[in-house]
Chain A
Amino acid sequence: MNQVSLGLTTAGAALMMISLVIGEFATGGWTNYPPYTGAVFSPGVGPDYWIWSVVIAGIGSLMSGINFCVTIYKCRAPGMTLMRMPLFVWTTLCSAIMLVYAMPPITVSSLMLALDRVLGFHFFTNDLGGNMMNYANIFWMFGHPEVYILVLPAYGIWSEIASTFSSKRLYGYSSLVLATMAIAVIAFTVWLHHFFTMGQSASVNIAFGIATMVIAVPTGVKVYDWMATLWRGRIRMTVPMVYMTGFFILFTVGGLTGVILANPSVDYQVHNSVFLVAHFHNVLIPGVLYGVLAGIHYWFPKVFGFRLDERTGRLTAWLWVIGFSLTFLPLYVLGLQGMPRRLPSFTEAAYGPWVTIAGFGALVILLALTMLFVTLWVSIRQRGQLSVPLGDPWDGRTLEWSIPSPAPAWNFATIPVVRDRDDFVARKGAGQAYEAPARYEDIEMPRPTYLGLTLCLAMTVMGFAIVWHIWWLALVSFVIVPASLIYRAFLPESEVEAVVPAAVVAAEDRAWRKAIAEARGVTRDEEDSPANCGLAAPEGEPA
């Protein structure tokens, strides 16, 4: 299911890429508002590509959501109660639940638009009772939850990073869980703030404006919780912490402008302006993108077995922070000056200086992007010195750091029993971090399969065929989907799953434990040196 979801998401992306070469992509912005995107005004293929990319990738997202929910509810290790889960898991769970509820509306609105375009329906046309307001309404029932689907997992990453790099327990765990849940629920009640200006009555706007502002409360609580986590810690300014610094300052400004936009009377002025563009980049780039980059730096050694270079990494992070500020903060001024979004050219002299600063900022962002690849390249070249095979380069707090790096295919040689939220810290404190298990068992692993790739190709072809109205091809490729699923369902167990014998697991695990016994634990002073091979000496005793 995981593979199929990824396959479908890739198919959506592939369609988008194809559109750049054959035909054109969405001509109506990311919201694809009709009637501009209806058949009457946009007879080209742009909106069709948009529709089918969104629908196909959307099904992938929906399946991912279901998959995460089920895995988190059903497949936890013994002792891993809900309230012991790392915060990243909590935020992923909330995000996944939101996906399940938010994807259907956009699939529906997109398919309704497709019916208008292809079969001459009148859901959103100008004539025969069609009404584009319904499109905006259904679209944003997805659109608003979507922004929190993006940011919640990042909130989880920030939580892990704050506590790891200050060597402290996470402050306000229950508050953070509660705030995440609150956001996930309230996010479904505010969608109308994306069209305060559609002409509805003041009371409707008031209700949705106030609902929107409520979200700022749990969001603020989270930021304060992370601050309290750092307070009285032992903070190391590693790459993820540089990103987090940028996040703290910039995201807070983004939250402030969100609260400003929640006021319909102000929104009338800055809606559809670059002020709005500044707001959402201000929450998306420092909130989500920095979170993802910080997360990559943090977990990279776990996945690939070596750390990323700190020096270039830190430079990259600062460039992102500066580049973002230069590019997007001027847009607030431009927005207040009345500059609309999606403006291809302008003559107003007043815009000039601000657009120039923003343009310069874009160059800095380009540089940051380049440095990101330089960081990767430098690190890959020095992977010998950066390698951390013993698995715990950051003095980690949660159990993923208690296994080798890169993680073996089966992750844990034996399933751990969880007793604490920061279970690995508790074990290290008790001197039981690396106790060898009494016995090993066979481990069942899924075999590689072509199912995801097949579905990805089939759906890409189907989308392409529908866009260009090649109906026979669409039908053929659509039939491949149920056909390959049924085929797989009839495969014998041995073709689907492979068994790793206990002896193999034991040999690998024992070799790793032997290396640990012989290694010297490094203190945090040596974190960024070749001496760090992934065995941590505990941080100083509590004062």
Chain B
Amino acid sequence: MIRWKSGLPFLCVCMAGSASWARGILSPLGPVAEAQRAHLITVTAVTMVAVLPVLIGVPLILWRYRRVKKGVYRPDFEYSRGLELAMWGVPFVLFVLLSILLWRSTIALDPYRPLGPDPLEVQVVGLDWKWVFLYPEQGVATVGTLVLPEDRPVTLKLTTDTVMQSFMVPALSGQIYAMPGMVTTQNLIADRTGVAEGRNMQFNGPDFAQQTVRTEVLTEGDWTDWMEAAASAPVLDVTSYAELARAGTIEDARLQFGIAEGPIRLRLGAPDLFSTIVDRYHRGQPVPASAQPGAPGYQPEALR
């Protein structure tokens, strides 16, 4: 029994995030994830008021009123006004308090709420089984790597060109679904440099496990240099996109672009690629399986 009870303090220790296994929300790189972690701790603490009486009271009662002890015995006790009031009242008060906290944090951490002026827009396209990032202003595209400047608000616009996926870099913010023909939004800021892991959270087939995102936060200067280095990189245009969209992992993308190691950095040759991808599902005509990336019957020629 000691084991279960130590489970919760133990969770709290994890949240403190001191050890090396602290990753994701446990070691945030930005204010959104930090606030989410804080909210998690607050909610846990408040709910303890309702939980602790059970965790402590049950073993006590079981011990104190075990049969062989022949303790006080009230076989007909079945109602007490005071007790009834406490049983309904305390949880209700907690509920009201928690609702207020929920309300405030949900508004504050709404993924659609911009986090400051002049955000950097990054367009995110989910493919089977890799993420493609488009930086339209910089004319850059990446596969499986998200590179962000420190301290600048970022607005991610997400869609997929296959089945539904869910994008998350837990050290920066929570997840949001990405769905074909639709655009969702996630705002975030990274306020210190570093590296974090992200991934697709929604199962989408055999190589689901490989659909990760290496996220790097660089200083403003380093970031600009990083982006400018794309000028001499292979190009991502409609033709190479059609090939990239075929079901495959980041490794397959490396082969396609001949980038053996390091980030897959590309020059964005089609500035409106993102809207092309989204609009393709709204032409009022059927989209055959051959033109749906990720489908077993997909033919890259059908996309071009």
Residues of chain A whose beta carbon lies under 8 Å from any beta carbon of chain B: 28-29, 33-36, 39-41, 43, 126-128, 132-133, 166-173, 175, 195, 197-199, 201-202, 205-206, 209-210, 213-214, 216-217, 220-221, 223-225, 227-228, 230-237, 245, 248-250, 252-253, 255-256, 259-260, 262-273, 322, 325, 329, 332-333, 336-338, 340-346, 348-350, 353-354, 524, 539-540, 542-543
Contact = CB atoms under 8 A, between A and B. Distances in A.
11 contacts: A126-B287, A166-B65, A173-B78, A199-B184, A202-B112, A228-B87, A263-B43, A265-B174, A267-B174, A269-B33, A337-B21
Given A206-B103, A216-B95, A253 B43 contact: no
Interface stretch (B130-138, B221-229, B237-245, B291-299): B291-299
Interface stretch (B54-62, B119-127, B254-262, B267-275): B54-62
Nearest to B72: A232
Contacts of A273: 201
A35 B36 contact: no
Most B CB contacts (10 A, CB to CB) among A126, A228, A255 go to: A126
Contact of A542 (B51, B73, B197, B297): B73
B164 A336 contact: no
Given A221-B88, A342-B203, A344-B209, A197 B95 contact: no
B53 to A, nearest CB: 8
Interface in B160-206: 162-164, 166, 168, 170, 173-177, 179-182, 184-185, 197, 199-205
B185 A169 contact: no
Contact of B177 (A170, A198, A234, A342): A198
Contacts of B115: none
Contacts of B40: 260, 263, 266, 269
Given A271-B175, A271-B201, A263 B65 contact: no
A260 B106 CA distance: 13
Interface of B: 1, 3-5, 7-8, 11, 14-15, 20-26, 33, 35-36, 39-40, 43-44, 47-48, 50-51, 53-55, 57-58, 61-62, 65-67, 70-80, 83-84, 87-88, 91-92, 95, 98-99, 101-103, 105-113, 162-164, 166, 168, 170, 173-177, 179-182, 184-185, 197, 199-205, 208-209, 281, 284-287, 289, 292, 294-297
B107 A206 contact: yes
Interchain residue pairs A-B with the least CB separation, the first 3? A268-B174, A338-B24, A199-B184
Given A175-B88, A201-B112, 15 more contacts: A28-B203, A40-B289, A41-B295, A128-B285, A171-B79, A232-B65, A256-B44, A265-B109, A272-B166, A272-B202, A332-B11, A336-B15, A340-B199, A340-B200, A340-B203
Given A253-B4, A255-B51, A340-B201, A264 B102 contact: yes
Contact of B43 (A224, A266, A269, A349): A266
Contacts of A264: 102, 106, 109
A211 B173 CA distance: 24
A483 B7 CA distance: 58
A233 B75 contact: yes
A169 B205 contact: no
B214 to A, nearest CB: 12
Nearest to B164: A132
Contacts of A175: 84, 87-88
